[in-house]
Chain A
Amino acid sequence: MIADALTGGFTDAPLQSARAFREILEALARPGTIRQVSGARPPPPLSTAAGVVLLVLADPTTGVHLAGAADRPAVRDWIAFHLGAPLVRAEQADFAVGTWTALHPVTRFRIGRPDYPDRSATLIVECDRLVNHGPALTGPGIETATWLNLPETAAFRANHGLFPLGFDTVFTAGDRLSGLPRTTRVEKI
């Protein structure tokens, strides 16, 4: 195991994970808002925010898929030590991490079943930056409308059409993150 893999986790897990959980909850409850998180220093290319989401949400019972450049030994070891989560194929993933290009095609991810729509994937999409500019978002948790620089709109519109099934998305850039659950309507551009 690479020694770096052993560092970069929470140093005060109960407090840090509770705070981070709150931020992730807010991000998904108020889609499009951009939140800041801290406490994780995962190996590159993972962002702090992606590391925090994994530390808070993934554990040995959730399969993690590393897409593209995220799939490298240092990241694998970091996940093994800090999460103990099994690494799985995209089709089995509870969480998938990577750039939008690396995650494609997103139709391969789990969308749940009619009796258990929660048995679906959460995509952690690594972005260069997050700004409230781009396609308009409307729906539950958004008072009127908000905007976010999505990598594309068609896939999210199709995903919304599957409701109550579908995947959920967290966009991450540096120490910032923003949520786009399946309930959000995305403007056609």
Chain B
Amino acid sequence: MYVAVKGGERAIDNAHAWLAEERRGDPAVPELGIAQIREQMALAVNRVMAEGSLYDPDLAALAIKQARGDLIEAVFLIRAYRTTLPRLAASNPVDTGAMAVDRRISATFKDLPGGQVLGPTFDYTHRLLDFTLMADGAPLTDAVPHTPVPSPRGRDGRGGETPRVPHVMGFLNRDGLIETALPDDTPPPDLTREPLELPADRALRLQALTRGDEGFVLSLAYSTQRGYGRTHAFVGELRIGIVAVEVDIPELGFAVEIGEIELTECETVNQFRGSRTEPPQFTRGYGLVMGQSERKAIAMSLVDRSLRWQELGEDFTGAPAQDEEFVLMHCDNIQATGFLEHIKLPHYVDFQAELELVRKLRAEAQAMQEAAE
């Protein structure tokens, strides 16, 4: 039950003033700028953009600063800001085959055309704290050579237009060994516009997952690997890079590339024993996330595949990652934190009612005990 409470205005003002002071920390330490956060905390910025569902690195950096580094609070700020923007249009679907790749690896094919490109990865680091980062102004070690190396996208030798880097799935597709994904430009449903109705189709599930909480999606994906809705996934391809965003401009009657965003894409290859209508072949799970968000993209593709059990005629084993309602209703960390944290706010009337009830029950129990004696 909700009841309006009054008072405490001065206390609230003071609390907020103190919050601002604590946010700044020790004034002897230089203040962080938005550009510093954007450039040096890029992966936090990426996470806030992905879960805030708004690609704008400066705003995400501002949100992180304002939220004192609490990323879910920062996501909340971005979601709130987003609601103030008019929706001007929807883009044409981005072409990840034309991505300018910073990173592109396959766990299934070692000799993929175009090559394996590690990119700026944490993989193969030793996970030892690097104390040189603690020393102010320590020079960059081992800068990446700038000498032009034959670029994976510079096939034309001019480094001009980005040549296509073919998807690994295309190679399996040629042999009919994997399910096909045929283009379809029907405008997809949008859960930010229409309330989520179940059963949801795959487009809605992917939208919910890509803006879902990374920790939640990660844990669900992990649960499928440990046997709760086993889908036995291989990373067919993981790529990170820049894609152009193209929009049909109504006043011009043609489409224009209006910007570029960084995306992480993951495609998994999963075993499929076949069904009454389909021969045994590989099936796919898909992850696409804003920014460099590799863990999230892999997790998303595993959960996407797991949720497709019905479409592929597989058994429902009762695993959480197969349960569409469970996944979609709980993956949003803003919904979750809103409902969770509201219980710390005044509930005096509810609790008073509970108190009355427990007192009454105790009195009744005592009376019965005394009567029995």
Contacts and interface: CB of A to CB of B under 8 A. Distances in A.
Direct contact of A and B (CB under 8 A): yes
Contacts of B252: 1
B253 A60 contact: no
A84 interface: yes
Interface string A122-142: 000000000000000000000
B88 A84 contact: yes
Contacts of A6: 251
Contacts of A77: 251
Residue from B86, B250, B251, B253 whose CB has the most chain A CB atoms within 10 Å: B250
Interface in A143-165: none
B193 interface: yes
A84 B193 contact: no
Nearest to B195: A116
Interface in A5-28: 5-6
A163 B262 CA distance: 49
Interface string A56-70: 000111000000000
Nearest to B86: A59
B251 A59 contact: no
Interface in B223-262: 250-253
A61 B87 CA distance: 8
A84 B248 CA distance: 10
Interface of B: 86-90, 193, 250-253
Pairs A-B, 9 closest by C-beta atoms: A80-B250, A81-B251, A84-B250, A60-B89, A1-B251, A80-B251, A84-B89, A61-B87, A81-B250
Interface of A: 1, 5-6, 59-61, 77, 80-81, 84
Given A6-B251, A60-B87, A84-B250, 11 more contacts: A1-B251, A1-B252, A1-B253, A5-B251, A59-B86, A60-B88, A61-B193, A77-B251, A80-B250, A80-B251, A84-B88
